[in-house]
Amino acid sequence: MKEITYLEAIREALDEEMARDPSVFILGEDVGVYGGAFRVTEGFYEKYGEWRVLDTPLSESGFTGAAIGAALVGMRPVAEMQFADFISCAFDQLVNVAAKNHYRWGAATPIVVRAPYGGNIHGGAFHSQCIEGFFYNVPGLKIVAPATAYDAKGLLKAAIRDNDPVIYCEHKYLYRRIKDQIPEEDYIVPIGKARIAIEGSDVSIITYGAMVHTATEAAKVLKGSGVSCEIIDLRTILPLDKKSIMNSVKKTNKVVILHEQTKTGGVGAEVSALISENCFDYLDGPIIRIAAPDTPVPYSAQMEEVFIPQPKEVINAVEKLMRY
């Protein structure tokens, strides 16, 4: 075992997959000589050369399309969006080409699009967004969002080996703040499987990404007042691990859904509908969603703190539910 950060986990996954499989390569803006805006691919250019760590022109749609084309003829490209926010420029290629290739004409498109996302870093409206909602209504894509260094590595490896287009949401706030003990040997975290981050019996907090840590903070406080929270870390948000969600709800009968993405039409709405449709008889109270308000991400620290869900909101929601 060894201890590494969330960012190092991403770097290790990329490095090990590139060493293992010559069809894996990286493309994007400033990923090569500079080593990436967040230094994720630092040293790769020297190790793998300019054709496997490809600095592209500033053209998200162009290089995403190129990743798709390379994948169609046997490569396994990993495209880096410098900030997830810029993925909107590649929307068409992901939604109309990558997501539909296999369904429409039977061609596998094994691409990974790395999307450094999320706020709490004072990046403002164009460097802080959660982008999973943009793609949530697109059948054919897979979306993962690790919360831990262990999952960051395992999910990225699984995504690279997967034959479908995977949007890999890596939370910028976690890059250097989270550390985990991870095994020395090769492992993957399967796509489509949630995990129980904390086992509990009174209430289920269903969440993913950086909010897993917000939920954990809340759970610690609530434990002090005798409330046992179960935290479900979705890990894969498209498609959802329905079974893990329902099992937890059937056990605790109370649900809080927590995400940093804005509220309307978000992942939480889907999880909530899923529970209503399938577990209505098990519920003791209303499903409560905690999410960012429906505004762009504000810049000022005071405003951003209101925007990003805080442990206190989770505690209030759980306390409210405990009265049912």
Partner 1 sequence: MDIKREDLLQLYYYLKLTRRFEDRISSLYHQGKILGGAWTSNGTEAVSVGYGYALERNDIAAPYFRDMGVFLIRGITAKRIMAQYFGKKTGVTGGKEGNVHIGDINFGVIGFPSHLADNYPVGTGAALAFKMRGEKRVAVACTGDGGTSRGDFHEAMNFAAVRKLPIVFICNNNQYAYSTPLRLQMTIKNVAERALAYDMPSKTVDGNNVVEIYKAAKEAYEVARNGGGPTFIECKTMRMHGHSEHDSAKYVPRELLEEWKKKDPILNMEKYLLENTIARKEDMEGIELRVKKEIEEAEAFAEESPYPEPDDGLKGLYATPIEEV
214 binding partner 1? (CB under 8 A): no
- DSSP code at position 148: S
CB of 305 to partner 1, least distance (A): 37
Q: Give 157-186 as a DSSP string.
A: HHHHHSSS-EEEEEEGGGTTT-EEEE-SS-
Q: Indicate the residue among 26 and 318 with the shorter CB distance to partner 1.
A: 26
Q: Which residues contact 315 (CB under 8 A, 6 or more apart)?
A: 218, 221, 222
Out of 11, 114, 142, 259, point to the residue binding partner 1 (CB under 8 A). 142
Mode of pairing for the β-strands spanning 142-144 and 236-238? antiparallel
Q: Binders of partner 1: how many residues, by CB under 8 A?
A: 49
Residues annotated catalytic, as ranges: 127
Q: Residue 195's beta-bridge partner residues? A: 233
Tokens of 36: 């990436």
User: In 283-313, which positions are buried (b, 16+ CB within 10 angstroms) versus exposed (e)?
Assistant: beeebbbbbbeeeebbeeeeebeebbbebeb
- State whether residue 63 is helix, strand or coil: helix
Applying CB under 8 A, the span of 8-16, 88-96, 213-221, 224-232 interacting with partner 1 comes to 88-96
Which residues in 97-136 contact partner 1 (CB under 8 A)? 97, 100-110
Residue with Cβ nearer partner 1 (20 or 243): 243
Looking at beta carbons only, is 64 or 129 nearer to partner 1? 64
Candidate residues 71, 113, 174, 317; the one interacting with partner 1 per rule CB under 8 A: 71
Q: Which amino acid is at 32?
A: G
59 counts as binding partner 1 under rule CB under 8 A: yes
Q: Residue 26 corresponds to which tokens in the numbers above?
A: 């990286």
> Which lies closer to partner 1 via its Cβ, residue 3 or residue 50?
50
177 belongs to the binding site for partner 1 (CB under 8 A): no
Question: Per-residue x/- mask for partner 1, residues 219 to 258, rule CB under 8 A?
Answer: --------------------x--xx---------------
The alpha carbons of the chain give a radius of gyration, in whole angstroms, of 19
* Helix, strand, coil fractions of the chain, as percent rounded to 5: 40, 20, 40
187 binds partner 1 (CB under 8 A): no
One of 139, 184, 280, 302 touching partner 1 (CB under 8 A): 139
Part of the chain binding partner 1 (CB under 8 A), chosen from 89-97, 171-179, 255-263, 264-272: 89-97
Q: Does 143 bind partner 1 (CB under 8 A)?
A: no
Out of 75, 196, 246, 283, point to the residue binding partner 1 (CB under 8 A): 75
Q: Within 43-174, where are the H helices?
A: 44-48, 60-72, 91-92, 99-105, 132-135, 149-161
User: Which residues of the shown chain bind partner 1 in the complex (CB under 8 A)?
Assistant: 25, 51-52, 54, 56-57, 59, 61-75, 77, 92-93, 96-97, 100-110, 139-140, 142, 162-164, 191-192, 239, 242-243
